[in-house]
Structure 1
């Protein structure tokens, strides 16, 4: 199952992403965390120390090689140059198993604590004025497009802040989206943006209240979020201590219960591979018509393989 953590900048979505990924890993579940935020802080939130470095290369730094690997022997994709972030897999493409023995996972995964982590890469000076951060997120979209995750396997993605996550089809690649909202007017205004976009594409969305300090905060969230409010987190002295480099004790019982609620909600989802592939094709054709066809000089609609079926039913030769 794949889950995205989204929300206003500063809402605590990176912290919640890290807590949830650690919770899953501690239970023994196969999990991969992906830092898809323009501010790359998930490794630190997972426990990377000041004297440690994240040595695995960012996904965006080897986008060409990732494209070459994933397109495999798909005759509909002539080269990496005509493969864009929305290009869906077809017969002959290489599909990925979570943490499988493949070129993508071997090179780009590094464990931080208990959690295998991949990062998109930071937005640096060389990108200023010539690229947007979505060019880096394209590697994540391709990864998720070609991933066949099974029952009890998890991908946890810390996404960009605000409604910017809807600037590409990446938001359709998840089984559940958790929106982290503070009990403030700004916090719930971002929720309304997400809710409206998610409803248009039938994207499952649940709200996690964060930094809740009392009954008034909880009532505020219930008033403005309603039934979409799944759970909430209280102020955590344990998290603050970790952020200050002095980890001790354990996560508070209420916040631990919230993590269990998130997992139960995610596990209750039913994997719909047919819809997943249908949305992949829809957004690929949208992008092809809007910009990608002109940018590559190719008819990208021909990359769609109508005979391909995603998921466990895909041909084993593509794994």
Structure 2
């Protein structure tokens, strides 16, 4: 299942993403983690030092390889150069699976060892000064969107994506790729205003959205979030000595995380699993195609010089049955 963490800058979404990843690993679940934030901090939150974070390969730098691999033998795609971030899979396309080895992971993913196991970590790469005036951050996350479109996941597998802050997470169709979106909100007017904005987008496309209240100090904070988020408020997280130690670079073993926060993380997992159990694969594929056609008409056809609508395979529906069939080569 695919899970996104979103929220305004400073809300704690990267910290909660990393805690959730550690929790899943402690529960022996296979995890592919993706740092898709404009500020790349997930690696550090998972315990990597500065040199290790700097050494993470940027997915955007490997976009030609990603396109060529995912294209496979799909006859509807004339060349890798005509693929854009929303290009959907079809007959002949190669799909990515969480537990397999493939050239995309070889180039873009790195193993990260946690207390209770190992995960794969991928990163878009930071938005640097050299990008100013020549590209936007959405071009950076295009590699993530293309991979998510071609990634088939099973019920006991997890893709966890730390998204960019604010409403930029809804700037493309990528927000429809997730079984559950956790919006991390502080008990403030600004924190809850981001939730209202996200809720409107999510409702229009049937996206499952739950609020995780963070930095909740007292009953007044809790009542504020309840009044503003209603039934969308799933759990709240308060002060954590474990997190404070992690932020100083010397966390104790994950099993020492406070009991209340461990229960909150389990609630997140339960909500994600319940949402995945109700995934409509046909609608999931249809939404993918919708955004591809939209992008093709607005800019893709002109940029590539091709009719990108012809890339859509009307008979193809991504489904769980592909999860265990590897086409890696």
Same fold by TM (over 0.5)? yes
Give secondary structure in 1 for the equivalent of 2:61.
helix
Is 1:74 equivalent to 2:77 in the alignment? Answer: no
Is 1:40 equivalent to 2:46 in the alignment? Answer: no
The residue number in structure 1 matching 2:15 is 15
Is 1:25 equivalent to 2:29 in the alignment? Answer: no
Is 1:265 equivalent to 2:267 in the alignment? Answer: no
Distance 1:12 1:212 in 2: 12
Give secondary structure in 2 for the equivalent of 1:118.
strand
Write out per-residue CA displacement over residues 22-78 of structure 1, whole angstroms, 9 at most, x where no aligned residue. Answer: 110121101111000000000000111245445341111100110000001111111
Q: Pick from 218, 221, 226 the counterpart of residue 217 of structure 1.
A: 221
Is 1:139 equivalent to 2:169 in the alignment? Answer: no
Q: TM-score, normalised by structure 1?
A: 0.97
The residue number in structure 2 matching 1:296 is 304
The residue number in structure 2 matching 1:128 is 132
Moved more, 23-32 or 174-183: 23-32
Is 1:180 equivalent to 2:184 in the alignment? Answer: yes
The residue number in structure 1 matching 2:314 is 306
Kept in 1, the 8 Å contact 2:62–2:108? The answer is no
The residue number in structure 2 matching 1:277 is 285
Q: Pick from 252, 261, 271 the counterpart of residue 255 of structure 1.
A: 261
Distance 1:317 1:203 in 2: 29
Kept in 2, the 8 Å contact 1:99–1:105? The answer is no
Kept in 2, the 8 Å contact 1:88–1:284? The answer is yes
Kept in 2, the 8 Å contact 1:23–1:259? The answer is yes
Two-structure CA RMSD over aligned residues (Å) = 1.5
Q: TM-score, normalised by structure 2?
A: 0.94
Write out per-residue CA displacement over residues 108-139 of structure 1, whole angstroms, 9 at most, x where no aligned residue. Answer: 22122333211010001221111111101111
Q: How does 1:98-177 map to 2 (within 5 A)?
A: 98-114=98-114, 115-177=119-181
List gaps (5 residues or longer) in structure 1.
Answer: none
Q: CA deviation at 1:285?
A: 0.4
Moved more, 178-187 or 237-246: 237-246
